[in-house]
Structure 1
Amino acid sequence: MTLLAHDRYCDEIVHQVGRLRAVVTSGAELTATVPTCPDWTLEDLVRHVGRALRWTGLIVGTRAEQDVPVDRAPGAAGPAASGDAAALDAWLAESGEVV
């Protein structure tokens, strides 16, 4: 398997986060079911992705050598208000910059 350069991975994260943000800001219903994860809503998926980005950013940024609880990642909880597409979009954008 050929590994990509670090910058290429970072560029892809930015690209994919942008695609997800486009869905959030398109007027899509945040309560819509995700076809590949029928137990999740679009908002659930966005919060999961944002939380994962912040968590991995913390792990990589600190060069953690032990388990890091996801709740230690700053801002991992996301926006307090549910159903706020603008707040969710801003939080996801910020999350994508952490990595």
Structure 2
Amino acid sequence: MRTRTTMQSSPVVWSQCSTRSPEAYAAGHIPGAVSLPHATIDAAALASLPARALLVTYCWGPACNAAAKGAARIAELGRPVKEMIGGIDAWRAEGFPVEHGQPVPSDAA
């Protein structure tokens, strides 16, 4: 998966953002990803993320549009963003690791 390769080799600061529900995040997410449900994205939600980070949104997979909605909202708020095509389904299919557990509150990040 190109996203993982780029993340490992790039000097750019990346923040993976699960735009799914907190329950979906808890059931499995990319290691190090933050929970950022697309319907809750606003300036306050983004304030806890590194200001210069390229935000990479993902959701379930190709049939889910939460990553696209999240990316559009992040772009509207003036932050750099990309969408990870294939979502967590493609991540798992490639055999990459997945973490489980509740999201960390944004004010603790």
TM-score relative to the length of structure 2? 0.25
Q: Which has the higher strand share?
A: 2
Which structure has the bigger radius of gyration?
1
TM-score relative to the length of structure 1? 0.27
